[in-house]
């Protein structure tokens, strides 16, 4: 609802409440009230109120049926009264459902944050205390609405529901006699719905805060894991150096006797092979964690990667550029930011960028386009922070196709830029 139309609608609702509860029969048929009740019941059903507020939803559905029956029988006052009750019960059911869902989501995320903080040895944040959950209080409508407005955590929450509740409470001043119990019940539903809706919004805000904290903790955990992997790789390199020195000592000692030298060489070769395998596995783990860190920091995926005799080969498809152009798309630029971070944290020894096209069109133009695209990728990597390592860029035109240029699918595969990363 737009704010500029809120007051007229609230004023009309207040007039309807007052007229209905006082028994005046000057209003038109309650078509709009019935439509509003139907919409409220539908919203409650969509909010899974059948799981969390089944009794209130059932009451709203029953009252809606009574309103429709009264309308068909020409009993407009009864139809209007039942429709208003149905709207109130449906809104109460929806608010209760949203509060229950928000509470469950916050509890789950709070537990996940606590577990991650404990694993990382981080003291929990001292977050502001949440307001107490709405209790089972009834009556005292004005005091309860004033309590909502006075609590700074709830003051700006559930404005619509609070306005509806205030209208229902204000209408009590003009209701007497046998209409009083129904008006009291309507006010109670509206005040209760306002309390639950405000509490649900506060829970959602705190869940959003916990989501932000959880994301930051995940990034910290990834960084720590990467640091631990690098430390392990350094330890294994030191062990390998020490074993190499010991190997030399043993070879010198075995020089006096050929058989002893051969036996020592055989034993040491096996140990060196095993150690090299461990070192390779540790380095691969370090690189895997570096790729994960790069994607987390850049909030983007790295280009697809394969390994061959050249090293790690990351491939940017032809759709990373506009057709016939050398300007990177926003998605490709984001992916290259992750690529630059990976090159930096993995301590790459060298990087080469190779551009390729399909065989369509002029060969000279294809060569120029492939060179421009390779240069654009190199420039993006340097700008994103990969300038600590030498990056060469070359264009190869339609050379070195990876698929048959006779089909559209094959040509699409051949239009590519390969980023070849050589690790230390």
Task: Give the torsion through C-alpha atoms of 139, 142, 147, 152, to 10 deg.
Answer: 140
Give the lowest-confidence range in 107-121, 161-175, 189-203, 271-285.
271-285
User: So what's the pLDDT on residue 22?
Assistant: 46
Mean pLDDT over each residue of the chain, to the nearest integer: 86
* Confidence grade of residue 10 (pLDDT, cut at 50, 70, 90): very low
User: So what's the pLDDT on residue 301?
Assistant: 94
Average the pLDDT over 298-321 and give the result: 93
* Range from 5-14, 117-126, 231-240 that averages highest in pLDDT: 231-240
User: So what's the pLDDT on residue 187?
Assistant: 86
CA distance 361 to 323: 13
pLDDT tens, 404-413?
A: 999 999 999 9
CA distance 332 to 301: 9
pLDDT tens, 345-388?
A: 999 999 999 999 999 999 999 999 999 999 999 999 999 988 78
pLDDT tens, 231-272?
A: 999 899 989 998 998 889 999 998 888 877 888 787 778 777
314 DSSP β-pair partners? 305, 419
Radius of gyration from C-alpha coordinates of the chain: 35
Q: Where are the domains of the chain?
A: 3-221, 225-296, 300-422
For residues 285-308, b (16+ Cβ closer than 10 Å) or e, as one string?
bbbebbbebbbbbbebebbeeeee
Report the topology of domain 300-422. Answer: 60s Ribosomal Protein L30; Chain: A; (3.30.1330)
User: So what's the pLDDT on residue 335?
Assistant: 95
* Confidence grade of residue 16 (pLDDT, cut at 50, 70, 90): very low
Burial class (CB in 10 A: 0-12, 13-18, 19+), 274: exposed
What is the value of pTM for the model shown?
Answer: 0.49
Inter-residue contact 266 to 273 (CB < 8 Å) = no
Of 161, 133, 137, residue with least CA distance to 149: 161
Kind and range of the H or E element at 118?
helix 76-120
pLDDT tens, 297-306?
A: 989 999 999 9
> Does the pLDDT value for residue 4 go beyond 50?
no
Work out the number of other CB atoms within 10 angstroms of the CB of residue 232. Answer: 16
* Confidence grade of residue 26 (pLDDT, cut at 50, 70, 90): low
Give the lowest-confidence range in 57-61, 219-223, 269-273, 370-374.
269-273
User: So what's the pLDDT on residue 128?
Assistant: 66
> Does the pLDDT value for residue 48 go beyond 50?
yes
* Confidence grade of residue 182 (pLDDT, cut at 50, 70, 90): confident
Average the pLDDT over 185-194 and give the result: 88
User: So what's the pLDDT on residue 9?
Assistant: 41
């Amino acid at each position: 609802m737009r704010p500029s139309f809120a007051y007229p609608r609230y004023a009309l609702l207040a007039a309807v409440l007052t007229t209905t509860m006082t028994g005046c029969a000057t209003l038109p048929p309650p078509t709009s009230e019935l439509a509003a009740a139907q919409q409220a019941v539908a919203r409650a059903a969509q909010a899974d109120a059948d799981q969390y507020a089944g009794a209130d939803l059932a009451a709203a559905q029953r009252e809606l049926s009574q309103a429709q029956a009264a309308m068909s029988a020409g009993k407009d006052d009864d139809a209007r009264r039942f429709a208003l009750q149905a709207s109130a019960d449906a809104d109460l059911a929806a608010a209760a459902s949203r509060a229950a869902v928000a509470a469950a989501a916050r509890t789950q995320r709070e537990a996940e944050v606590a577990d991650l903080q404990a694993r990382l040895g981080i003291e929990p944040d001292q977050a502001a205390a949440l307001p107490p959950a709405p209790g089972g209080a009834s009556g005292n409508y004005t005091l309860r609405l004033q309590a909502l407005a006075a609590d700074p955590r709830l003051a700006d929450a559930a404005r619509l529901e609070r306005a509806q509740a205030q209208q229902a409470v204000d209408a009590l001043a003009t209701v007497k006699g046998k209409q009083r119990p129904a008006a009291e019940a309507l006010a109670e539903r509206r005040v209760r719905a306002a309390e639950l809706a405000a509490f649900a919004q506060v829970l959602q805000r705190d869940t959003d805060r916990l989501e932000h904290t959880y994301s930051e903790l995940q990034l910290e955990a990834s960084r720590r894991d990467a640091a631990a992997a690098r430390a392990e790789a350094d330890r294994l390199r030191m062990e390998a150096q020490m074993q190499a020195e010991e190997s030399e000592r043993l070879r010198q000692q075995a020089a006096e006797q050929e058989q002893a030298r051969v036996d020592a060489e055989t034993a040491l070769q096996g140990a060196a092979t095993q150690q090299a395998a461990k070192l390779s596995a540790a380095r691969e783990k370090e690189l895997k964690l570096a790729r994960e860190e790069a994607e987390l920091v850049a909030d983007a995926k790295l280009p697809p990667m394969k390994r061959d005799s050249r090293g790690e080969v990351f491939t940017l498809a032809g759709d990373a550029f506009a057709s016939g152009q050398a300007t990177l798309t926003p998605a490709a630029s984001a992916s290259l930011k992750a690529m630059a971070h990976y090159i930096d944290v993995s301590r790459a020894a060298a990087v080469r960028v190779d551009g390729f096209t399909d065989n369509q069109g002029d060969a000279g133009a294809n060569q120029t386009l492939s060179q421009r695209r390779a240069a654009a990728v190199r420039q993006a990597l340097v700008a994103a922070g990969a300038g600590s390592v030498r990056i060469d860029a070359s264009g190869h035109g339609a050379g070195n196709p990876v698929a048959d240029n006779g089909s559209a699918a094959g040509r699409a595969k051949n239009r590519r830029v390969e980023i070849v990363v050589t690790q230390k």
